[in-house]
Structure 1
């Protein structure tokens, strides 16, 4: 399927892969989750009108606080920003679309359905009630035993999968599809902020995925990671905050990018210290991974390490000082126009400064002991996260004319800002004043009753301000003044050089900055095309070429289905399989959420193997199996679909010149998977050190593991042979090599299955029982090697798909699918090289 129905059709939004459509879906959906989380926030404020129970019982209040935090941090703030990123980044860098359009659609549907899965968790007895940080051991079934709590954990995992898909897509696009002549240092500041954000996301969210997978194994299959006495709670703290502190900047950086763009557009002045601003952003991105432990000052970590973390925390504030001064000096030297977008951007700067200053208190060990666990932290957190994200609201007003072609109501926009800014400070500054209130608790001193009541009034005013925004946008979309292509006087970025809203294919010609200014050339030609416009200085303009030329000299033409033709190829814009695969994943995870409660194991110490299983409720297991089967079917259909998304003909690709876009995307995926396995291996090492490094003997015998090592290494060799024969166009030998790879992979799984059977039945070592050592040792062995086994199974499914396609005559003239599969398979083999000594030798 490649055609796009009209925007008035529901089908359009189910099948679209166009980056602008996906961006709109992200924006609208994130605003829905803003309302969801906002209603929960108002319930919290009503509970705090008086100390003690008001409208929510104890458990319901804890669930509400947890859900509010998770929804706002994960399902609103970042997705709202990436709605704009989806829409604007390809336009700002001169790309036709994101590098992988179907992957982009998949990331959206995984995001939406993960949020719906989280919503469903409320109806499965109880959802999570741990706080948004999901601290151990509260996160294990002993304390939160319901299917709803498990569904919430799995929803978070599904959300991280969506983030990973989006991250890979943006990294590949920005590094592979920038217009000719646009170097990294020439990119608009909003795109720069997104680039820094997705680099952080690639590693931070991979660490979170590792933590969530470990937690899911505790909840679904009954492992013992975070219920273990050998440092389980501290392990969660390390894994979560290695993600959690970069997440602060992952949320803030897109808002910073909006501020940087809006300060230039509404001051009429170029950003002061642009180069140093970019350097500061890079420094912050790197440093964000080096300060996670300041969230753990109250743990038993020794004072020397805490002191080091305190120094690094204070150090990360220095690049932020540079950013703030760059913004201020840009205004001082400009001619400010106090339009609604600028007011929100400027308000965001003021709020973030206050949030940053109050955060310095928490970076000091002694003060952190006093403030930790109080409303000081809650206030600081909201001033940074929500305060900084205030700029995103300004971005919504700023790009509303571009997305809709209509102007918003300026008076209503300014009224919205005034009510928003005043009520924001009523809510969150009152928390500083009542800072001794314990966080996540509705019991507090009578001295703070009036302050909390004042904050509650502010909370409802804050909610009302968003109703003004929704009314403004809805009214303006229907009957607002026509905006024209560029309603602002001092814009500097390429999205304002195309019509509002932009056409489906973005550009009539090929954007180029080869001359230092934005020009539109005929595709496939190096002639001047149209009136040049400034790349990052002055007002963009220029006329696009009326014909879309391709590299062979033929001309593309649009059709009614929503495709454009490139010679004899169609650039595809639609596919149903991202939605289908996401829906199947939703069904499978919903089923997995209730498996542990639906099945019981009987028959002695070996029952955990599943030999003696009593199914009390077949609904959840059946749902999981149906979802898994649908995932397999959707994945195969995805691979069979004739979907064409050509790379940019001419582009700036430093530092990845000469790297094909699919290979680059695979590299980014494997980089994230390195962190996932790194989380599992680090968890094993951490818990073993806490339990006593030399007190454990290797669980399995080394001979089966050694044989499996040889088997996997040999399978890497056969994959290389398949690639060689594909390049030589020797189909029979290529098929034989792929078949040998599949055979070796099945051999590996067979040996692993025999080994597990031997450990369980002959030695009595199960997932939760180890008569020869600590139970946590067997948990780590089965779960970590199990994760690796799942990777092997996925690889075998792909290899089988490739073998069938090779039999049908494919890959004789395009060997790249074999090469990319080989990269994945080699990675799986390398991981085993690390797991073998960890569990078999040491």
Structure 2
């Protein structure tokens, strides 16, 4: 496949391997290509790219920066622990260090590191050209980077967050943590969750609707399986965390009282919301590493994974069970013994599928012939570390033992043996796919040196913590008789840090001077990314990937003269002489109709049945460049820096207040303008004409994306409604003071929203019949009804304010205003989309193409349905 620049798709390797690095390529050229994507040597490339391989590299590089950040904080912790009651850091500085170390490692390193591989590898493994929504993929990265930068900013705003990575209430409210930087850290995490949600919608749509022909879910590679299940868990778990963070942000910025000491059940509410996310997060972090282990074990033992279908079934079972074990983090609370016993049983139960997966990996090693290369060493080391972490976790799953060990260094050691087991395997994945990404081989000797330092340092760091388990967590004072164990741990921490320096040196020098790799450096690989050049070409494959014959093959694409790929009349093989090479060493078949095989080689184009010209090529091809995701990330960063100064319902006085207010306004305008521009931009991301789409064969990509987003929104609203019900029961259901004293405004708003849903349906019909005036009239009616809803809601709020009822007046007011305010924000977002649709309709869009109106309708109907729950809950019951 030509990349549009005259160079070969194998990466255009430099002939001077000692002076210039081989491009981390996917474009093959040095000039801007026909899609407006600059070469990888250009800085501009990295700000405008939407290509999944580029985004994967950005995720990997950025996450490795954050592991250095978090690692330096960890070394500060270990230095403080050199002696009991250490004085390197003040108590406040120590709390900040511990808290941000945990937050950075869990959120800004572990998952993004795994999803760097997911971005790069998953589309290749499933035979897709890119993810379903390339610009959303870029947007998720820029929001991730913006959120990480916000954490850095928080250190310069008095003090950053210091309440531990679990952010327990009531320590997380302004009464105990009044610094602006603490609010910035909370907003940073909130933005990170938005990034995760955008990414989740994208990956789920891609993996369910863009798998190569013949690649059923049952036949998916194990790494892709692990990512699929991870993303489903992320979609729901992070939605619960988003609700918790939004409520916490309201407590800090608006003065609500969900989590303050006086609030009924406030601290328990935070614990429920956080751990409903927090325990699935353990598997969200570890599942990609499990997929990496499976791929590496198969490659370096030369054996198919033993019990593959049971391995997959176990992962599915764990993903489902992960949402019913969260209360084992709450054994020390006042939850009754029967519920604690139930969750002890579910905790022990979830370990059983892991036993099966561990034995499958062990038996695969026993059956195969192991080659002890660096990727395998790290994958095997990760398995050993995880076994220790799993066994020690069983202790904490027992209620009686948890009473003794909770809050001690036993938990710290167990937690790191589980989480860093994932890191260990992912480092193996970095070595495994490094040749694929760079076209260069790493230094094997240095890789093994790193593994030795890493494995020794890790176990010296964390195993002594099991022995010194009586040390209290998050406290730098401990009994003097434990000094020796803590000093061993500190030495181990520095050895672990040195191992990362060896890795960085190895990979950096290998990019410049490593042995060139054109294709596959490993024996016994079995996934599609190894069937193309290293690095892969821009659009991944020299044709369309297919598994229809039971093996991976490539057939020529057939496109219309408009550039869209068609599912009719495609031909095989790649070459014009009928002898194209199959990935398994055989040869491709001839044309299905027995006629002349046509490859994209300058041979005469064919004609489709309608007389239009068809060519075996990409035609216009997909777009790969857009500046607007980056601009949106900049806007979000500026907006949240400004909002961080809004404390307890107001900006501060003076110059600081003016700065924060102006920054908020500027950030909001940049964000909104960038989103509008991205929506209006001419960006081409075609669906695959032929693909496996079960179970969503009859749903377009965008519609499925909307449905998946709404699924996460169900959890978001469910968490808000659940928080209201929990707090109300804690306060006494019948003694609760219902805030809206009159149900009439709520009833009027119900009729307004139901009517607006009907006008959206009429608008969809008008677009289908190409009635521009009809569509404009329906959208205008929807806009006016929505504005009427907000005006009526505003009048009601003003009346309540005059009665002295507001967000910060009582917990009753906080729950009412915040939950209905969240719904109102959804209505406002819908009205902004309505204005955009009206603007495009005025210009002649959507005539005969009602799908954009239908997708908006799905969102608008969901907003209306939510109100049907809120109305009786807040106005009647």
Aligned residues: 814
Alignment match of 1:424 (pick from 454, 458, 472) = 458
**Which residue of the partner structure matches residue 337 of structure 1?**
371
Counting only pairs closer than 5 Å after superposition, residues 424-463 of structure 1 correspond to structure 2 as 424-463=458-497
Which whole-Å CA distance do the structure 1 matches of 2:429 and 2:736 have between them? 56
**Which residue of the partner structure matches residue 240 of structure 1?**
274
Q: CA deviation at 1:570?
A: 4.3
**Other structure's SS at 1:345 match:** helix
**Which residue of the partner structure matches residue 791 of structure 2?**
750
**Other structure's SS at 1:695 match:** coil
Q: CA deviation at 1:754?
A: 0.2
Q: Deviations over 1:488-526 (max 9, x none)?
A: 010000000000000001012100001110110111344
Q: CA deviation at 1:388?
A: 2.5
**Which residue of the partner structure matches residue 65 of structure 1?**
98
- Residue 663 of structure 2 corresponds to residue 589 of structure 1: no
Q: 1:649 to 1:547 in 2, by over 3 A?
A: farther
**Which residue of the partner structure matches residue 529 of structure 1?**
573
- Residue 798 of structure 2 corresponds to residue 794 of structure 1: no
Q: CA deviation at 1:556?
A: 6.7
Tell whether the 8 Å contact from 2:645 to 2:657 is kept in structure 1 after alignment.
no
Q: CA deviation at 1:816?
A: 1.0
**Other structure's SS at 1:571 match:** coil
TM-score, normalisation: structure 2: 0.91
Which whole-Å CA distance do the structure 2 matches of 1:597 and 1:837 have between them? 30
**Which residue of the partner structure matches residue 313 of structure 1?**
347
Which whole-Å CA distance do the structure 2 matches of 1:823 and 1:3 have between them? 34
Q: CA deviation at 1:600?
A: 6.6
Counting only pairs closer than 5 Å after superposition, residues 85-234 of structure 1 correspond to structure 2 as 85-227=118-260, 228-234=262-268
Query: Unpaired runs of 5+ in structure 1?
Result: 558-565, 602-612, 770-774
Q: Deviations over 1:193-248 (max 9, x none)?
A: 00000000010001100110111111111111111430000000000000000000
Stretch moving more, 544-553 or 575-584:
544-553
Q: CA deviation at 1:18?
A: 0.1
Q: CA deviation at 1:483?
A: 1.8
Stretch moving more, 415-424 or 521-530:
521-530
Counting only pairs closer than 5 Å after superposition, residues 232-311 of structure 1 correspond to structure 2 as 232-311=266-345
Q: 1:360 to 1:615 in 2, by over 3 A?
A: same
Query: Unpaired runs of 5+ in structure 2?
Result: 1-33, 559-568, 590-597
Q: Deviations over 1:80-106 (max 9, x none)?
A: 000000000000000000000000000
Q: 1:284 to 1:629 in 2, by over 3 A?
A: same
**Other structure's SS at 1:653 match:** coil
Tell whether the 8 Å contact from 1:45 to 1:456 is kept in structure 2 after alignment.
yes
Q: 1:533 to 1:593 in 2, by over 3 A?
A: farther
- Residue 697 of structure 2 corresponds to residue 662 of structure 1: no
Alignment match of 1:648 (pick from 656, 663, 688) = 688
Alignment match of 2:542 (pick from 496, 508, 532) = 508
Alignment match of 1:33 (pick from 66, 78, 92) = 66
**Which residue of the partner structure matches residue 628 of structure 1?**
668
**Which residue of the partner structure matches residue 615 of structure 2?**
555
Alignment match of 2:381 (pick from 337, 347, 357) = 347
- Residue 727 of structure 2 corresponds to residue 687 of structure 1: yes
Tell whether the 8 Å contact from 2:737 to 2:812 is kept in structure 1 after alignment.
no
Q: CA deviation at 1:804?
A: 1.1
**Other structure's SS at 2:553 match:** strand
Tell whether the 8 Å contact from 1:433 to 1:451 is kept in structure 2 after alignment.
yes
Which whole-Å CA distance do the structure 2 matches of 1:194 and 1:635 have between them? 28
Tell whether the 8 Å contact from 1:122 to 1:148 is kept in structure 2 after alignment.
yes
Q: Deviations over 1:610-650 (max 9, x none)?
A: xxx99972111111111111111111111110001001110
- Residue 816 of structure 2 corresponds to residue 781 of structure 1: yes
Which whole-Å CA distance do the structure 2 matches of 1:744 and 1:275 have between them? 53
Which whole-Å CA distance do the structure 2 matches of 1:727 and 1:649 have between them? 23
**Which residue of the partner structure matches residue 439 of structure 2?**
405
- Residue 716 of structure 2 corresponds to residue 676 of structure 1: yes
Q: CA deviation at 1:539?
A: 7.9
Q: 1:18 to 1:541 in 2, by over 3 A?
A: farther
Which whole-Å CA distance do the structure 1 matches of 2:599 and 2:474 have between them? 59
Q: Deviations over 1:123-180 (max 9, x none)?
A: 1000000000000000001111111000000000000001011111110000000000
Tell whether the 8 Å contact from 2:156 to 2:181 is kept in structure 1 after alignment.
yes
RMSD: 1.9
Which whole-Å CA distance do the structure 1 matches of 2:48 and 2:516 have between them? 29
Stretch moving more, 221-230 or 186-195:
221-230
Alignment match of 1:324 (pick from 348, 358, 365) = 358
Q: Deviations over 1:42-82 (max 9, x none)?
A: 00000000011321000000000000000000000010000
- Residue 805 of structure 2 corresponds to residue 765 of structure 1: yes
Which whole-Å CA distance do the structure 2 matches of 1:714 and 1:824 have between them? 15
Counting only pairs closer than 5 Å after superposition, residues 668-747 of structure 1 correspond to structure 2 as 668-700=708-740, 701-747=742-788
Q: CA deviation at 1:257?
A: 0.2
Tell whether the 8 Å contact from 2:557 to 2:616 is kept in structure 1 after alignment.
no
**Other structure's SS at 1:224 match:** coil
Which whole-Å CA distance do the structure 2 matches of 1:14 and 1:633 have between them? 18
Stretch moving more, 24-33 or 726-735:
726-735
Tell whether the 8 Å contact from 1:151 to 1:590 is kept in structure 2 after alignment.
yes
Tell whether the 8 Å contact from 2:518 to 2:534 is kept in structure 1 after alignment.
yes
**Other structure's SS at 2:573 match:** coil
**Which residue of the partner structure matches residue 869 of structure 2?**
834
Which whole-Å CA distance do the structure 1 matches of 2:247 and 2:585 have between them? 52
**Which residue of the partner structure matches residue 528 of structure 2?**
494
- Residue 849 of structure 2 corresponds to residue 814 of structure 1: yes
Which whole-Å CA distance do the structure 1 matches of 2:585 and 2:734 have between them? 68
**Which residue of the partner structure matches residue 593 of structure 2?**
none
**Which residue of the partner structure matches residue 595 of structure 2?**
none
